[in-house]
Amino acid sequence: MSFHAKIHTIQKRADSLLCVGLDTDAQKLPVHLRSKKNGILEFNKRIIEVTRDLVCAYKINFAFYEALGKEGWAIMEKTLALIPSAVFTIADAKRGDIGNTSSQYARAILNEMGFDSITVAPYMGKDSVQPFLEQKEKGVFLLALTSNQGALDFQYKKIGKKRVFEEVVTTAQQWTTNHNLGFVVGATKSKDIQSVRKLAPDVPFLVPGIGAQGGSVEDVVKYGCTDGGFGVIINASRSILYASIEKDFADTARSEALKLNNEINFFRTKYF
């Protein structure tokens, strides 16, 4: 099954476009877990347990685990093992280097660790992205239009009549016929999500920027979804993970995830 088909199948079965980002910050853990040796892993375990029926995907942000050194890598691998096989996994690693280096990154993250997909930076061009695209069943979310303020520095610059992010979307689709390319498109750039969708009608989007960053759920669904209300993976991290720092953190996280999932599905019904 191709990457695109797998996403569609999981989203249809789960009736969900929601992704929970496991961007777990040790300093923001519930108070009773901060002094525990396995506090981060216990936190992640509970978050997964209470949201697994509400999501289509989990995204693990490598930075929060790499910062902890060897112990962080072990926590990340154990967290990945807790995710049900019926849920899609995203390595938010933002790799991208010369070809032989990217080949090693792809082997490490997609093969050895076993993630379903990875975020990749496009700046170094085709040969830096190609190694991640070689496996049809594994996917790449290429950074196209990001949700941060610095996106204005380069992504909106003109190349002829096209903006840089539009050139990335147009060009990158020529790099694979394996149906395993997606794009990162920030929710805070809502008016431009439609522009990216026009250029990539059937390509899945990973959409950060909902929740704490203030992106519009309605705009993401209306302008980003493909036919039938699929094709976008809407990520929320802080707004779910840290909804409470008390012992009720898991129940509160579930409530926030359920609320967001219901909001997403409301607009899916409205527009599709």
Q: What's this model's pTM, rounded to 2 decimal places?
A: 0.96
For 81-131, the pLDDT digits (tens) are: 999 999 999 999 999 999 899 999 999 999 999 999 999 999 999 999 999
For 123-182, the pLDDT digits (tens) are: 999 999 999 999 889 999 999 999 888 999 999 999 999 999 999 999 999 999 999 999
Three-state secondary-structure class, residue 154: helix
Token reading at 141: 């979310």
pLDDT band at 214 (very low <50, low <70, confident <90, very high): confident
The pLDDT of residue 213 is above 90? no
Give all domains of the chain, ordered by start, each with its CATH number.
Answer: 3-271 (3.20.20.70)
User: Any idea which residues carry the catalytic annotation?
Assistant: 94
The pLDDT of residue 55 is above 70? yes
Maximum C-alpha span of the chain: 56
Tokens 């070689």 locate to 134
Whole-number Cα distances in Å, 192 to 39, 144, 208: 40, 11, 14
- CA angle, 182 then 99 then 66, to 5°: 70
CB 203 within 8 A of CB 173: yes
